[in-house]
Amino acid sequence: MGFVKRAWYGEERLWKVFLIYGVLGYFIVVKLSMAVRTVTFNYILTADNSILGTIIRFILMVTPFVLLSMYVVYMSVGLWRCARNVKTKFFYYVARAIAFCLMLVYIVYFGIGFLIAL
């Protein structure tokens, strides 16, 4: 868990945060979310309407959102804080712009989705 803390506190090299945590982490989180959504879809098709069934459906529907939320916040903070760990100022600004856009897209996407759901 030291690598998670190092990225969170801005002590990790930017290339590691971007390539390993960003690209590989994104792939893992998306695959996990898709697996949970598949399980959710299959469960919804066969679920009963009991209280326990409703609770399980809710948990299965919220889990991908929680996984993605944790990942986006972690990546945005990690990129922002580790941006100073580069030799070239250009990459510093690129990393900060990516972190900002990542959070902005996340807020807009889920904000609009939340408003539509209401």
Q: Is residue 21 part of a domain?
A: yes
Q: Is residue 96 part of a domain?
A: yes
Q: State yes or no: pLDDT of 1 exceeds 80.
A: no
31-61 per-position pLDDT tens digit: 887 887 787 777 666 666 778 777 877 887 7
Q: State yes or no: pLDDT of 81 exceeds 80.
A: yes
63-79 per-position pLDDT tens digit: 878 888 888 899 999 99
Q: What is the pTM of this model?
A: 0.76
Nearest-5° Cα angle at 61, 25 to 57: 140
Distance CA 38, CA 23 (A): 23
Residues 6+ apart with CB under 8 A from 39: 60
Q: Is residue 1 part of a domain?
A: no
Q: Is residue 25 part of a domain?
A: yes
Q: Is residue 2 part of a domain?
A: no
Question: Taking a C-beta distance cutoff of 8 angstroms, is the pair 32, 67 a contact?
Answer: yes
Q: Is residue 75 part of a domain?
A: yes
Cα atoms in the 13 Å half-sphere on the side-chain side of 66: 7
Structural domain boundaries, residue 51? 7-117
Distance CA 77, CA 99 (A): 7
Q: Is residue 113 part of a domain?
A: yes
Structurally, the chain folds into a number of domains equal to 1
Q: Is residue 35 part of a domain?
A: yes
